[in-house]
Amino acid sequence: MLVTILGPDGTGKTTLARALAEKIDGLDYMYFGYNKESRDYQFFDSFVKSEPKNILKRIIRKGVRFINDLYVFRSAKKNHIISDRCPIDSYVNTKIQGRKLRYYYSLLLKISPNPTFVILLEGDSHIIYNRKKEISEHHIQSTIKYYKEYLLTNKISHFVIDTTQNDITATYNLAMEELIQHLK
């Protein structure tokens, strides 16, 4: 089973995913975010983490990254994995930015398996913005909107937690309750 934690920056995705992985036996943590250094790649790790100048090598790097991600998603059929982010993020962010690259990510999402279950972290955009000040309040609102739209359109089982109304302990407890139900 692949469980994914989604939400805009500042909602506590990494903290929650790691805490749940530590507490639940047999639940492995994986990071699928944008920080290449934090990601573990099964194949060609140094190449995927490199910054090639050549356009062909950059395209090949994206392909290798996709194959690595696909490998992890497929392994979730045998193991329980909780991921901090997933390819849905790339699609949502390019959609918000109005970039044509969103069509590429849209295609990749069609051939990639979706998470089995998503925990979506959301809340008041002003409060979330003030936690990290990495993305604008408008970007936070759009991110939440497009996540919900994607989850509903693709009929992905999900649970929403407002991290501005719940502290970290309450968020963890809500997520733990819901996750245990899905792991049964």
115-161 pLDDT, tens digit each:
899 999 999 999 999 998 889 999 999 999 999 999 999 999 999 99
Res 66: pLDDT: 75
Q: Exposure of 59 by Cβ count < 10 A (0-12 exposed, 13-18 middle, 19+ buried)?
A: exposed
Phi, psi of 89 (to 5 degrees): -60, -45
Res 30: pLDDT: 83
Q: How far apart are CA 184 and CA 172, in angstroms?
A: 18
Mean pLDDT of 78-104: 82
Res 34: pLDDT: 62
Res 23: pLDDT: 94
Q: What is the mean pLDDT of the chain?
A: 85
Res 104: pLDDT: 72
The DSSP code sequence of 88-125 is HHHHHHHHHHT-THHHHHHHHHHHSPPPSEEEEEE--H
Residue 106 has pLDDT above 80, yes or no: no
Residue 82 has pLDDT above 60, yes or no: yes
Confidence class of residue 35 from pLDDT cuts 50, 70 and 90? Answer: low
Mean pLDDT of 53-58: 79
Q: How far apart are CA 85 and CA 170, in angstroms?
A: 21
